Structure 1
């Protein structure tokens, strides 16, 4: 988006963005809820999970070993710097997945102002009771509780392992046009997050619009925008795939 927005146009586009985002998020959450049985940590980690039956076999040993190697690499490094080892058996407070908006920072070229941007069409998958904003707050707190930080790190790593190992689930979500990607986010070091993307792409207006909007609102945050033009410009992956299939026949 390169055109300039007046206040009324920006307000209208924000209203459209929120309405579209609500529909997409509800759809993504419904798909995720339906597919939640495929994310069972007990099936992946067996006896290494608190309350699970013993004697789960070599496969669960392999999965736990991978989780431990990932934890040892991620948790000991900045910004977590945890000295505690991965506890066995794993104690999970929650295993119900929830969606949290993707957030990132940009620096405006002219003013040098840092603005926190929220995506209305992309979401980080986490277990409920372990929201992303709360995780970020704990990471940034100089007086943080190591035990609380440990719980956040473990829950997000367990979810990453469960989702990344469920190849069929990823293919299903991609077929439903809500593909999963695995990304690193600023403030969280090398910890991999699972991100669900919608079939619609949001974008940012010119920096002048962001600057004026944040100054008027008295905040340092802004949301990507999406409207009618974005909907009309959506790609149909199945259509494109079929067209490629018959090319040259």
Structure 2
């Protein structure tokens, strides 16, 4: 990994990173679309969804009650401060899952400058038409529409609930080497998100490289890097598991 500022080496690493990231995202997106039927909100909420058939199942009542408790706790707190009640029936504009870039802030130690870092090998799962970057903009907008903010909160909360209640989905992704985790992200309060990671590790170079790169580019954003060595160090979990199975036999 680049620890000193070498423009040619950095350009090469960025090209490799983009190629690797694009290939991994295509694969992760394919897995997600194939398994999307396993996380259909209709399965959990039934008649509580707009346009759904009526049912009297206790399970759907239980799921909706839990969702409402989550909503009441999270939506009323910072940074959302929504006064809207959870509407019944739920009006979900989109239920097609999509991958959005995972971003976070890094403060450079010398200058104190905040740099927005993007991971090329991890993504946040959201519903189509509910872009995570736009969600962040809505939250920070002092003139934001409470109706628009409500839609974002509800859609991400419904998706989290469906995924967290589908342990089989997590096991499938784990077996495909794209593990699923649930994380809270800065700027989004206590709202939990589903994050899909790839089997390849990315990393940041020395701060001086980040500082020089952003100064040349004239912006405050940087992408973690993936190189040839990161591919070589990939772990084969099945191989490791089988070796442990026969150890001592």
What is the CA-CA distance between 1:56 and the residue it aligns to?
3.9
What's 1:166 paired with? 166
Structure-2 separation of matches of 1:235 and 1:154: 37
Asked if residue 33 in structure 1 is aligned to residue 33 in structure 2, the reply is: yes
1:167-206 deviation per Cα after TM superposition (whole angstroms, max 9, x unaligned): 1111101100001000000000000000000000100000
SS in 1 for 2:72: helix
What is the CA-CA distance between 1:166 and the residue it aligns to?
1.2
* TM-score normalised according to structure 2 size: 0.98
SS in 1 for 2:51: coil
What's 1:46 paired with? 46
SS in 1 for 2:16: helix
What's 2:86 paired with? 86
Tell me, which stretches of 5 or more residues in structure 2 are unaligned?
A: none
Runs of 4+ in 1 over 3 A off after TM superposition: none
Asked if structure 1 preserves the Cα contact closer than 8 Å seen for 2:2 and 2:10, the reply is no
SS in 2 for 1:147: helix
Structure-2 separation of matches of 1:56 and 1:241: 44
SS in 2 for 1:122: strand
Asked if residue 203 in structure 1 is aligned to residue 203 in structure 2, the reply is: yes
What's 2:224 paired with? 224
What's 1:129 paired with? 129
Structure-2 separation of matches of 1:113 and 1:242: 47
What is the CA-CA distance between 1:248 and the residue it aligns to?
2.1
What's 1:114 paired with? 114
Structure-2 separation of matches of 1:166 and 1:154: 18
What's 1:70 paired with? 70
* TM-score normalised according to structure 1 size: 0.98
What's 1:20 paired with? 20
1:12-60 deviation per Cα after TM superposition (whole angstroms, max 9, x unaligned): 0000000000000000000000001111101110011111111240001
Asked if structure 1 preserves the Cα contact closer than 8 Å seen for 2:2 and 2:9, the reply is no
